[in-house]
């Protein structure tokens, strides 16, 4: 699973690290030509691009996780080549579904990046729960699209699956986000903790080491979050549609047309 998702994540991780280096070294020189704040600021623009890229990458990794996990749960032996091939073939559709279900993220990202810290703190009390609810409503879009081979109809089908178990789905999104954030912070600040022991020192390269660890943390957190979502999708179908009975019947009497 980790090797397969790395095929899609490593290029984005490398780009994110490159943007971090550029922002660290050059953003003051460029921003002085334009403005200290606002969407035209180079460092804000780099953060915006990084967030959008990470969101879309998580969308793609989610598709890979569904193909891999569903194949495994149905008794098959998933292979990296097959799972990656399925994702690549549906890449245009993944772009469209991401745009249709995550347009609000772009707006929120721009608003939060261009606001002052006090405003961000105040808006967070509204934005975070709203973002969790919006994510809940489209939680199963990628699993439905990849497992049930639906196109844009996967958005409607995903809502039909989530609606009867909206509370459980919202709780899953919150729990997954909190656990993912804790793990992300823990891995990211391992270099700082190591320096605190006095056994190692990174000197002026501490920021670079910490940036690398942040990208490594993403390589771990995003795939496991995607796997958890795929498993939750299967469990939801078991509880609401008796998927386990359908699978057992297919194994006993042959698959349906």
| 3-class secondary structure per residue, 97-116 | HHHHHHHHHHHHHHHHHCCC
- Dist CA 81 CA 91 (whole Å): 15
Per-residue pLDDT tens over the stretch 157-208? 999 999 988 889 999 999 999 998 899 888 888 877 777 777 777 777 776 7
Is it the case that residue 95 has pLDDT exceeding 70?
A: yes
Q: Which of 49-53, 150-154, 188-192 has the lowest average pLDDT?
A: 49-53
The size of the chain, in residues, is 257
Domain that holds residue 36: 2-253
> Are 68 and 1 contacting, i.e. CB atoms less than 8 angstroms apart?
yes
Q: Which helix (H) or strand (E) holds 15?
A: helix 2-34
Please list, in sequence order, all residues whose beta carbon lies within 8 angstroms of the beta carbon of residue 186, skipping any fewer than 6 positions away. Answer: 217
Per-residue pLDDT tens over the stretch 58-75? 899 999 999 988 888 777
- Output 242 or 159, whichever has higher pLDDT: 159
CA atoms within 13 A on the CB side of 190: 14
Q: Name, of 5-19, 73-87, 89-103, 203-217, the range with top average pLDDT.
A: 89-103
> Are 225 and 5 contacting, i.e. CB atoms less than 8 angstroms apart?
no
Number of domains present in the structure of the chain: 1
> Are 138 and 101 contacting, i.e. CB atoms less than 8 angstroms apart?
yes
Distances (CA, A) of 117 to 35, 39, 111, 163, 172: 18, 16, 12, 35, 29
Q: Which of 118-122, 185-189, 200-204, 220-224 has the lowest average pLDDT?
A: 200-204
pLDDT for res 121: 76
pLDDT for res 245: 72
- Dist CA 169 CA 146 (whole Å): 19
- Write b or e for each residue in 28-53: b if 16 or more Cβ atoms lie within 10 A of its Cβ, otherwise e: eeebeeeeeeeeebbbbbbbbebbbb
pLDDT for res 226: 92
- Write b or e for each residue in 193-216: b if 16 or more Cβ atoms lie within 10 A of its Cβ, otherwise e: eebeeeeeeeeeeeeebbbbbbbe
The tokens for 19 are: 């943007």
- Output 127 or 74, whichever has higher pLDDT: 127
């Amino acid at each position: 699973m980790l090797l397969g998702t790395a095929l899609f994540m490593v290029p984005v991780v490398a780009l994110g690290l490159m943007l971090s280096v550029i922002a660290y070294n050059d953003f003051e020189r460029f921003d002085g030509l334009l403005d200290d704040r606002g969407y035209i600021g180079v460092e804000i623009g780099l953060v915006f691009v990084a967030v959008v890229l990470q969101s879309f990458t998580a969308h793609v990794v989610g598709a890979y996780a569904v193909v891999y996990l569903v194949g495994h749960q149905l008794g098959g032996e998933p292979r990296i080549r097959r799972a990656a091939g399925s994702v690549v073939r549906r890449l245009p559709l993944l772009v469209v579904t991401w745009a249709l279900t995550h347009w609000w993220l772009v707006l929120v990202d721009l608003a939060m990046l261009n606001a002052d810290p006090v405003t961000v703190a105040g808006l967070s009390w509204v934005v975070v729960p709203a973002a969790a609810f919006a994510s809940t409503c489209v939680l199963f879009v990628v699993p439905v699209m990849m497992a049930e081979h639906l196109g844009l109809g996967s958005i409607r089908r995903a809502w039909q699956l989530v609606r009867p178990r909206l509370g459980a789905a919202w709780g899953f999104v919150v729990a997954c986000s909190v656990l993912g954030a804790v793990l992300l912070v823990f891995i990211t600040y391992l270099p700082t903790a190591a320096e605190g022991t006095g056994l190692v020192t990174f000197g002026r390269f501490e920021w670079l080491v910490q940036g690398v660890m942040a990208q490594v943390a993403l390589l771990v957190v995003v795939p496991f979050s995607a796997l958890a979502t795929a498993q939750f999708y299967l469990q939801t179908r078991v509880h609401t549609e008796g998927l386990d009975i359908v699978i057992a019947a297919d194994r006993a009497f042959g698959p349906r047309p």
